Amino acid sequence: MTVTIVGSQLGDEGKGGIVDVLGDSADVVVRYQGGDNAGHTVVHDGEEYKLSLVPSGAIRGKVNVLGNGCVVNPRTLFSEIDALRERGVDPDVRVARRAHVIFPYHRLLDGIEEDRKSEDDNEVGTTGRGIGPTYEDKAARRGLRIADLTDPDTLRERLAYVLPQKRALVEDVFGLDIGSLDDPDALSVDALHEEYAEYGRRLAEEGMLVDSGDFLADRMAEGEDLMFEGAQGTLIDIDHGNYPFVTSSNPTAGGAATGSGLGPGVVGDGEIVGVVKGYLTRVGSGPMPTELGGVPGDTPGYDGDPSNPETESEELAHQIREEGGEYGTVTGRPRRVGWLDMPMLRHAARASGFTGLAVNHVDTLAGLDELNVGHAYEVDGEERLTMPATTEEWGQCEAQYRTFEGWPDVDWADVATEGYDALPENARTYLEYVADELDAPVYAVGVGPAREETVVVERP
């Protein structure tokens, strides 16, 4: 049995909490794409753990696999593992030999390219973790895989091939002086060889290396259950997302097969749960047809103070942002807020084949008199039920709304204990509309940030 968890919007849907609740009975948690661009916070026995690469299952004693579709920064990996060990948690993390390695030059080039793009306001707003440049090298067949770290001769040979290209890029294309960089060793064969051969030795010595497809197939043959944990969200998927404002991997469910080494049938025979936030948030620029109000500081005259909003829509955005704690975990930047966008969700449900849904932040919307949902888009006088392919066309879409009656604030802890029928009636109407439109049942409803504040309707 496998369960795949996929973000259906722009990331930040609260996937971590759902993995935590629904992954309870999984034996192995597998990440299939991305790297240390995915921040998640896990609260366990009153302790808070912030992780970006190690899957959250590590805290709960699961076997955790970083699949071949991941890009792995060994510095981050070992600093997270060491920090967990210092706190008395000994995580069981396995790393696919076929996963690609993020080197310091990837981070360096991520930063340089973003700076260059920002001169024309075209930056992607990446996490700066070197994700794009690493996948770029993988596709260009000049990347290094995790297994290469364990073979010092191959490691040196590959670094000696790739580094002159990176140095030329920095100096000749971007016109920078390598000597004046913060970390000139990021481009040194000897320095990288010494540090990364040591990571290879440690990976081997600690028994962390696996051929992920074989390893997972063996665990399944022994009757174990797998959970595939997607990072990021559908709208930042490199194929199905809002290109070029995307990450460089496939968070959608197809990625679970290519990124783990198991067949698509294995993923498709299991459950695929789309995680939906009850409204929409977005960090940074790009279209958002259902956007409410503005972001404090970005809208002239609007400072985020609810006693001073220019419009009702700004006041609503402010209220939802405060209630939902919609501020970037790392940067503290206020997130843009909008109503649920159904064309986006239909696109996500089709691209991944959702068999069920987990809807989060239903408590955040409590207390509103009424709420809107972007049911369709109108573009050039025509109705559209799913998203157009280009960011430019998406920017021209106008949301066509359906209005729902609001629900009161209630004791959400009681609701979580009593179950789905204890949800306010109007909240159930809202959830049932979403389930009908996406043709997938609601398996879980998030009514608060804590693990026990999730109404589990059905355990896939």
- Which residues form the catalytic set? 12, 40
Residue nearest to ligand IMP (CB): 11
The C-alpha atoms of residue 437 and residue 346 are separated, in whole angstroms, by 8
Of residues 400 through 459, those in contact with ligand IMP by CB under 6 A are: none
One-letter-per-residue 3-state SS of 269-292: HCEEEEEEECCEEECCCCCCCCEE
The one segment of 121-129, 351-359, 390-398, 399-407 that binds ligand IMP by CB under 6 A: 121-129
Q: Which is closer to ligand IMP, CB of 41 or CB of 311?
A: 41
Cα→Cα distances 338→365, 385, 398, 432, Å: 12, 18, 13, 20
The one segment of 67-75, 118-126, 217-225, 310-318 that binds ligand IMP by CB under 6 A: 118-126
339 close to 371: Cβ distance less than 8 angstroms:
yes
Total binding residues for ligand IMP by CB under 6 A?
A: 19
Q: Does 280 bind ligand IMP (CB under 6 A)?
A: no
**Shortest CB 107 distance to ligand IMP, Å:** 10
Q: Which is closer to ligand IMP, CB of 232 or CB of 290?
A: 232
Residue 185 dihedral angles phi and psi, to the nearest 5°: -65, -15
- Residues 214, 218, 221, 224, CA torsion sign: negative
**Shortest CB 175 distance to ligand IMP, Å:** 23
The one segment of 63-71, 119-127, 165-173, 375-383 that binds ligand IMP by CB under 6 A: 119-127
Q: Does 6 bind ligand IMP (CB under 6 A)?
A: no
**Shortest CB 77 distance to ligand IMP, Å:** 17
Q: Is residue 305 helix, strand or coil?
A: coil
The C-alpha atoms of residue 350 and residue 386 are separated, in whole angstroms, by 10
Q: Does 238 bind ligand IMP (CB under 6 A)?
A: no
Exactly one of 232, 258, 260, 454 binds ligand IMP (CB under 6 A); that residue is: 232
The C-alpha atoms of residue 333 and residue 295 are separated, in whole angstroms, by 9
Token reading at 425: 């009636």
**Shortest CB 3 distance to ligand IMP, Å:** 20
Q: H or E segment at 101?
A: strand 100-101
The one segment of 21-29, 128-136, 169-177, 311-319 that binds ligand IMP by CB under 6 A: 128-136
| Distance between first and last Cα of the chain | 9
The one segment of 208-216, 240-248, 295-303, 432-440 that binds ligand IMP by CB under 6 A: 240-248
74 close to 206: Cβ distance less than 8 angstroms:
no
Exactly one of 127, 290, 352, 360 binds ligand IMP (CB under 6 A); that residue is: 127
Q: Which is closer to ligand IMP, CB of 236 or CB of 365?
A: 236
CA angle 430, 275, 66 (to 5 degrees): 175
Tokens 């987990």 found at: 358
**Shortest CB 279 distance to ligand IMP, Å:** 16
Exactly one of 3, 21, 30, 38 binds ligand IMP (CB under 6 A); that residue is: 38
Exactly one of 275, 283, 427, 457 binds ligand IMP (CB under 6 A); that residue is: 283
Q: Does 245 bind ligand IMP (CB under 6 A)?
A: yes
Exactly one of 97, 129, 138, 282 binds ligand IMP (CB under 6 A); that residue is: 129
Give the DSSP per-residue string, 205-248. Answer: HTT-EE-HHHHHHHHHHTT--EEEE--S-GGG-TTTSSTTSS-S
Q: Which is closer to ligand IMP, CB of 56 or CB of 126?
A: 126
Determine the length of the chain.
460
Give the DSSP per-residue string, 321-366. Answer: HHHHT-B-TTT-PBPEEE-EEHHHHHHHHHHHT-SEEEEE-TTTTT
Exactly one of 43, 76, 125, 327 binds ligand IMP (CB under 6 A); that residue is: 125
The C-alpha atoms of residue 207 and residue 257 are separated, in whole angstroms, by 24
Q: Does 341 bind ligand IMP (CB under 6 A)?
A: no
110 close to 128: Cβ distance less than 8 angstroms:
yes
Exactly one of 72, 101, 236, 320 binds ligand IMP (CB under 6 A); that residue is: 236
Exactly one of 2, 126, 281, 364 binds ligand IMP (CB under 6 A); that residue is: 126
The C-alpha atoms of residue 316 and residue 297 are separated, in whole angstroms, by 16
Q: Does 230 bind ligand IMP (CB under 6 A)?
A: no
- Measured from the Cβ of residue 411, the count of other Cβ atoms closer than 10 Å reads 11
Q: Which is closer to ligand IMP, CB of 14 or CB of 213?
A: 14
Q: Applying CB under 6 A, which residues contact ligand IMP?
A: 11-12, 37-38, 124-127, 129, 131-132, 231-232, 236, 245, 247-248, 283-284
